[in-house]
Amino acid sequence: MVGERKAPRCSREGDLFVLDLGDGENRLNAEWVEAVEAALDEAVAAPAPRALVTVASGKFWSNGLDLEWMAANAAEVEGFVARLNALFASFLASGVPTVAAVQGHCFAAGAMFALAHDQIVMREDRGFFCLPEIDIRIPFTPGMTALIRARLAPAVAHEAMTTGRRYGGGEAATAAIVAAAVPEERVREEADERARARAGSDPATLAAIKERLYAEALATLRGPQV
């Protein structure tokens, strides 16, 4: 229910900013975007060494767009989608190293948010990475398409986007969707280790590299979503 939704929260643990999406379905709405924007801005403003790890707990890492919120706020949807795509661009091009610690299901726009991170660490035995838009009849925006194409091998992007395949952790690692698939108790530890290893990266250099590496996808994410 709407009243039970919780916005993501950010805290700092040494060199790591920890963005906690929550313990529910962690669906994306306007409040969610605002909270995540603020978390990234806080990390960007801090001097190196620093990195950001995005975590959740329970069955889901994120179950995608908050369709209930969108139905109740139809007049805001166009602006929200543009802002969400801009947020994906901010993560993709950030001078802050980012790692998604995926302990549960990672679906739809939630999966795209994970792909906007530098690395994904996923639980190996339970939970799926899935882009189910073909089955729920919601076409990808141009920006979302560009993000997925930029982060996945062409054949993997085609399969994931056109079939809605559910990838378990091991399958996702084999397809290079995620950087590592590990036991549940190791997900956060592995993500933290990877983030700390890059926390000292020069922010300006990292941002410049990513802006040029993902120039086409970033231009599309930042442009009109029609």
In three-state secondary structure terms, 209 is helix
Confidence of residue 152 (pLDDT cuts 50, 70, 90): very high
Q: Which pairing describes strands 51-55 and 98-102: parallel, antiparallel, or unpaired?
A: parallel
Per-residue pLDDT averaged across 54-64, rounded? Answer: 98
Each residue's pLDDT tens digit, 178-209: 999 999 999 999 999 999 999 999 999 999 99
Nearest Cα to Cα of residue 32 among 52, 13, 50, 7: 7
The pLDDT value recorded for residue 225 is 85
**pLDDT tens-digit profile of 122-144?**
999 999 999 999 999 999 999 99
Cβ distance 83 to 47 under 8 Å? no
Mean pLDDT of 160-179: 98
35 within 8 A of 7, measured Cβ to Cβ: yes
pTM, whole model, 2 decimals?
Answer: 0.97
pLDDT value of residue 4: 56
Which pLDDT band, with edges at 50, 70 and 90, does 6 fall under? Answer: confident
pLDDT score, position 3: 40
Question: In this model, does residue 120 exceed pLDDT 50?
Answer: yes
Q: Provide the pLDDT for residue 1.
A: 35
Among 35, 53, 51, residue whose Cα is nearest residue 43: 51
Q: What is the mean pLDDT of residues 77-92?
A: 97
> How many whole angstroms separate alpha carbon 56 and alpha carbon 8?
9
Q: For a pLDDT cut of 90, what percent of the chain falls above it?
A: 96
**Mean pLDDT (whole number) for 152-175:** 98
Average pLDDT score, the chain: 96
